[in-house]
Amino acid sequence: MRTWSRKNTLSGVKIRSEMDAREATVLRSLVGSVVGLLGDRAADAPADELAAMTGLRTGHSSPPEDAALARLLPDFHRIEQTDDADTADLNGALRGLHEPAIIDDKLAASRVILDTLPADGGKIGLTPEQADAWLTGLNDVRLALGTTLGIDADTPEVLDEGDPRAPHLDVYHWLTWMQDSLVQVLTP
């Protein structure tokens, strides 16, 4: 992948890069995995009679059990940061109200990536709005992959060859670089 660049054109600002076919395939697969996690969570939301009557959608009141999904849909308030015993109930209520819209936004960002990424690689041209969606989608992919790999502040930059996470850590670093390059272009 080439570094993102910013070009002023007659039709407005364009954010550009280029990706080879292998990179496009990897990114499509990773974004597809996140879409699958989020789609399954949305489809599994409990039915609520009041929501059906009012047209309001409700989500789960409990956090996801899957670690990667829990990282994508964290609690609104951390229980360990407060002595309030009602924090879990507050998190459940806020999750029930806001989780459907959060999932929708994350899925929309993923769709932008999938719609603007050439299937066989090639040139990528984004509007600033599409670039913002790419940032959101790339962040979600990095969060999910990082959680799955157990990446934290103590994870070395390079893992031993025998570590089964080593090849995936390279992909994580590539995503980090891609996201950072895009942020640099979007920051005036």
List the one residue out of 135, 147, 134 whose CA is nearest residue 70.
147
Q: Tens of pLDDT along 34-70?
A: 999 999 999 998 887 767 777 778 888 889 999 999 9
What ranges do the domains of the chain cover? 5-44+100-186
Runs of H (alpha helix) within the chain: 21-43, 49-54, 67-72, 87-116, 128-149, 166-186
pLDDT in tens, the chain (188 residues): 899 999 988 888 999 999 999 999 999 999 999 999 999 999 998 887 767 777 778 888 889 999 999 999 998 877 665 556 566 788 888 888 899 999 999 999 999 999 999 999 999 999 999 999 999 999 999 999 999 988 888 777 777 788 877 788 899 999 999 999 999 999 87
Specify whether the CB–CB gap between 73 and 97 falls below 8 A: no
First-to-last alpha carbon distance for the chain, in angstroms, is: 22
CB 116 within 8 A of CB 90: no
Beta-strand relationship, 12-19 and 5-9: antiparallel
Characterize the bridge pairing of strands 122-126 and 5-9.
unpaired
Query: pTM (2 decimals)?
Result: 0.88
